[in-house]
């Protein structure tokens, strides 16, 4: 049984049912039932055409469910008509599903769950495990999302920016159980890049690959966080870095800069440095300047302050924090780091301790607590 093949076929099969008249929620339910039957029967009797088999079984499941709703006879008649001639390609179906699952009407957590379910072909249990929530909670989240987009047409252009934000959310969701959401996000973004010719899709794929290349070095024994400057760069995946840089260069050559391309450029400069001390911080500041023009994001402004502190000195970095909201995540930790660089060790230790108390994860809290203890033990000038 090739489960990866099943997952790849899911969006195309859902798309066929939707084009035949099924609403999204009913089509997705029918396909999930067909997948269960496939898992039960394909091991001993695999079909010659897996997609056609899934379409046939899912369509019959949908018709059975529609016929059972006698109060909705009109809809039943509508779906029993002959499907339109000239079926759309699997490419069209998959791309439409991307846009529907990332609909602006959905909150980010629901868009992530629905994308993993309908486009990624994952089960509710897999998604729940990966997102670290109970299966019942995830089932409710998916059901609410499907109800919310019920009846929305698939024949209107979607918002690519929303799709990309959802994919990046999937990438950053975390790791849990036997499903690596970062790898899944890369798989889905590769698929989207094959369906579209937009530089920002390539930029997001490059960004994911460059970040993912450093994954093995990000944690130490016991899950300890290892900051970028202290990472063992010999453990970085050079093949992923080379691929990410090549994709980024091709995207930048299109001269249609977007925020994901700019973020990937920053990541590429980090990846290009043989050691932390060789990082080209001046170029990184320039890329953050571009990002600020594109987004105006306070998070970008905070990251830029760190880069300015490295390029022009800690006092310049502290000055660059002006206008950054103090309640922004990582603001206190960044301020602590810049004060340490400036030699104000007592202030830095206090800020590291303050940041640790506000940390949203155990690894981050432990890391900042260790930083506070380390700085307190440093000799004062």
Sign of CA dihedral 281, 283, 286, 291: negative
The pLDDT of residue 159: 76
Residue 187, helix vs strand vs coil: helix
Q: Which two tokens stand for residue 66?
A: 């529609």
CA distance 256 to 278: 29
Question: What one-character DSSP code corresponds to residue 83?
Answer: P
Please give the average pLDDT of every successive group of 10 residues along the chain, which has 381 residues.
73 82 82 85 84 88 73 42 41 72 83 84 80 87 86 63 86 63 87 91 97 92 91 96 97 96 98 95 97 94 97 97 91 97 96 94 93 93 72
CA distance 187 to 175: 15
The pLDDT of residue 113: 87
Q: Which two tokens stand for residue 214?
A: 């450093």
Q: Contact at 8 Å (CB) between 14 and 52? A: no
Q: Contact at 8 Å (CB) between 336 and 348? A: yes
Distances in Å between the Cα of 253 and the Cα atoms of 56, 245, 266, 290, 313 are 45, 12, 16, 16, 33
CA distance 45 to 47: 6
Q: Phi and psi for 179 in degrees, rounded to 5?
A: -120, 125
Buried b vs exposed e over 86-108: b needs ≥16 C-beta within 10 Å?
A: eebebeebbbbbbbbbbbeebee
Q: Which two tokens stand for residue 325?
A: 């909201």
Report pLDDT digits (tens) over 288-341.
999 999 999 999 999 999 999 999 999 999 999 988 999 998 999 999 999 999
Residue whose pair of structure tokens reads 């016929």 in the numeric block: 67
The DSSP bridge partners found for residue 180 are 175
CA distance 149 to 171: 23
The pLDDT of residue 80: 39
Q: Contact at 8 Å (CB) between 124 and 137? A: no
Q: Phi and psi for 378 in degrees, rounded to 5?
A: -70, 145
Residue whose pair of structure tokens reads 């994709």 in the numeric block: 247
Element (H, E) at 175: strand 175-176
Q: Contact at 8 Å (CB) between 243 and 267? A: no
Own/partner pairs, 193-198, CB within 8 angstroms, 24+ separation:
195/91, 195/94, 195/95, 195/98, 196/95, 196/160, 198/160
How many other C-beta atoms can be found within 10 angstroms of the C-beta atom of residue 225?
16
Residue 152, helix vs strand vs coil: coil
Q: Contact at 8 Å (CB) between 119 and 98? A: yes
The pLDDT of residue 235: 95
Residue 219, helix vs strand vs coil: strand
Q: Where are the domains of the chain?
A: 197-279, 286-326, 329-381
Residue 176, helix vs strand vs coil: strand
Q: Which two tokens stand for residue 72?
A: 């909705």
Q: What pTM does this model have?
A: 0.78
């Amino acid at each position: 049984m090739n489960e990866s093949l099943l997952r790849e076929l899911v969006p195309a099969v859902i798309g066929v049912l939707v084009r035949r008249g099924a609403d999204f929620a009913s089509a997705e339910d029918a396909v999930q039932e067909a997948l269960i039957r496939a898992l039960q029967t394909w091991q001993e009797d695999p079909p010659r055409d897996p997609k056609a088999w899934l379409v046939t079984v899912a369509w019959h499941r949908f018709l059975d469910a529609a016929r059972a709703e006698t109060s909705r006879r009109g809809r039943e008649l509508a779906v029993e008509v002959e499907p339109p001639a000239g079926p759309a390609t699997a490419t069209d179906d998959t791309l439409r599903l991307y846009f529907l699952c990332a609909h602006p009407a959905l909150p980010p957590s629901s868009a992530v769950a629905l994308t993993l379910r309908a486009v990624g072909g994952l089960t509710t249990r897999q998604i729940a495990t990966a997102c670290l929530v109970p299966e019942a909670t995830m089932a409710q989240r998916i059901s609410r999302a499907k109800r919310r987009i019920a009846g929305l047409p698939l024949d209107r252009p979607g918002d690519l920016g929303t799709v990309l934000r959802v994919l990046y959310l999937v990438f950053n969701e975390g790791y849990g159980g036997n499903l690596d959401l970062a790898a899944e996000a890369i798989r889905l973004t590769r698929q989207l890049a094959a369906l579209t010719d937009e530089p920002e899709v390539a930029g997001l794929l490059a960004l994911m690959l460059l970040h993912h290349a450093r994954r093995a070095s990000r944690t130490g024994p016991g899950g300890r966080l290892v900051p970028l400057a202290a990472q063992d760069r010999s453990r970085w995946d050079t093949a992923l870095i080379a691929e990410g840089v090549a994709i980024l260069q091709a995207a930048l050559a299109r001269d249609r800069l977007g925020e994901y391309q700019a973020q990937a450029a920053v990541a590429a400069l980090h990846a290009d440095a043989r050691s932390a001390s060789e990082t080209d911080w001046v170029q990184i500041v320039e890329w953050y300047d571009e990002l600020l023009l594109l987004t105006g994001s306070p998070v970008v402004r905070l990251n830029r302050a760190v880069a300015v502190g490295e390029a022009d000195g800690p006092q310049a970095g502290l000055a660059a924090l002006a206008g950054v909201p103090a309640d922004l995540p990582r603001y206190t930790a960044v301020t602590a780091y810049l004060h340490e660089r400036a030699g104000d060790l007592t202030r830095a230790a206090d800020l590291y301790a303050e940041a640790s108390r506000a940390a949203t994860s155990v690894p981050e809290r432990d890391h900042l607590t260790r930083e506070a203890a380390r700085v307190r033990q440093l000799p004062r000038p």
